[in-house]
Amino acid sequence: MKITFLGAARKVTGSCFHLSANGLQFLVDCGMHQGLESDELNRRPFGFNPREIDCVFLTHAHIDHTGLVPRLVREGFKGSIITTAATAELSRVMLADSAHIQEMDAQWMTKKARRAGSEKVVEPLYSVEDAIASIPFFEKKQYGEVYNLKNGFRYRFCDAGHILGSATLELWYRNSPERTILFSGDIGKKGNPIVQDPEHTAKADYVVVESTYGNRLHKGVGDSLEELAGAVESTFRRGGNVYIPAFAVGRTQDLIYIFNKLVREGRLASPLEIYVDSPLADEVTKIYSSHPELFDKDAKGLFGKKKGKAVRVHFTSSVDASMKLNRITSGIIVLAGSGMCDGGRIRHHLKHNLWRPECSVVFVGFQAKGTLGRAIVDGSKEVWILGDKVAVQSRVFTIGGFSAHADQKELLEWLGLFQNKPEVFIVHGEESAALDFEKQVKEKLGFVTKVPALGESYEI
Ligand SMILES: [Zn+2]
């Protein structure tokens, strides 16, 4: 079998691996590139003919693993998109949301070009129609079951413990002697809120493993919970609100869960009023609630049940309801996207409140260079938001312990659980993280390793 690394090679986003053998061609993930030069990367030719792809396996619903599916379908893909039920459901709302953002961006760029005297019309990467057209291709599968594909291929998804529906993919591609390759997807850290801990398979001949935090160790969750409770309590005492930029999928649901836990344990006073200001987060949370069978023991009973008065979660879908939130000046927590403040409703909240010393902004996720979130975290005294200069006078907290990814130690432990010594391809990490992790895997586990470059192929 031939494997070609078409994305997430020496970088974090754009996961896409092309496999061909026995007259079949398939992809594992078809993700969007994000960050520097992403527009160009997302628009260039795929490197295969979408009409010839028999199936696409998706490891989870994050857009850097699924975001180019609508483009694939628009360019003639007619195969199956195979994934877990929860990933299929989450992808439906996320791909539509992504398409909407693409359309808005294209409109904005066209307008900008017009203003500069150009006739150029910027086409969106794909449209909402393309996203909707992708949905019938999805096939929902169960964790733990071995399914036959065709031509002797078999596969199985196991829980990766990263977000709802996230999976590792095990693929049997030869029978005698039997050969397997395992794709880690994104691996969760143990004890992630809501979802189960990552499952493990006994052996594999090849493993394609992520390395997002291949060179870093996370701070303990205990300290982070303490810090979060302290931030909320001190802000309420000063008479302000807490604003938390959060991605709609995974992080928002984790935070709702964490705040429930803090109130239940008496570390925050009840009732706690949380406003989730994002239509996407509302839909995603409903999908989370409809899959209690995927929750870990602690989380069962949190979603789906009436929660009593300890924590009151309000979803504000309409723009009108979102704007009304500005009238509440103290005592609430507002969760809104985007996670890095480079888009979404959080920017309106920051514009109206960042200058208020009694308020706080709590960052719980990675802030990429060049984003508004990064400027605030880095200590800018004033920032531009939606055309206005705003003084940064709120208190700013950066809390690092809530990442949904395994860190270096946990990634090594995960690899160390294989009973044989698989050959390892390290992907989905910035180059420095991937290379650092490779060194550790060689030294500590003695595995043969490769850190593939973009477009590189191997015969396995
Ligand atoms: Zn992910």
Question: How confident is the model over 242-281, as pLDDT tens digits?
Answer: 999 998 888 899 999 999 989 988 999 989 999 999 889 9
What is the arithmetic mean of pLDDT over 200-215?
93
Distance 60 CA to ligand 1 centre (A): 7
Distance 404 CA to ligand 1 centre (A): 8
- Would you state the pLDDT for residue 150? 85
Give CA–CA dist 210/163, Å, rounded.
15
Distance 162 CA to ligand 1 centre (A): 7
Res. 193 pLDDT band, cuts 50 70 90? confident
Give CA–CA dist 185/157, Å, rounded.
10
Question: How confident is the model over 30-86, as pLDDT tens digits?
Answer: 999 887 678 899 999 999 999 999 999 999 999 999 999 999 999 999 999 999 999
* All residues at 6 or more sequence positions from 140 whose CB lies less than 8 Å from its CB, including other chains: 83, 84, 85, 88
CB 416: neighbour CB atoms within 10 A? Answer: 11
- Would you state the pLDDT for residue 305? 52
Distance 57 CA to ligand 1 centre (A): 15
Question: How confident is the model over 393-426, as pLDDT tens digits?
Answer: 999 999 978 888 899 999 999 999 999 999 999 9
Distance 290 CA to ligand 1 centre (A): 20
Distance 144 CA to ligand 1 centre (A): 20
Distance 306 CA to ligand 1 centre (A): 29
Distance 81 CA to ligand 1 centre (A): 18
CA distances from 135 to 73, 128, 247 (A): 10, 11, 23
Distance 52 CA to ligand 1 centre (A): 27
Give CA–CA dist 91/95, Å, rounded.
6
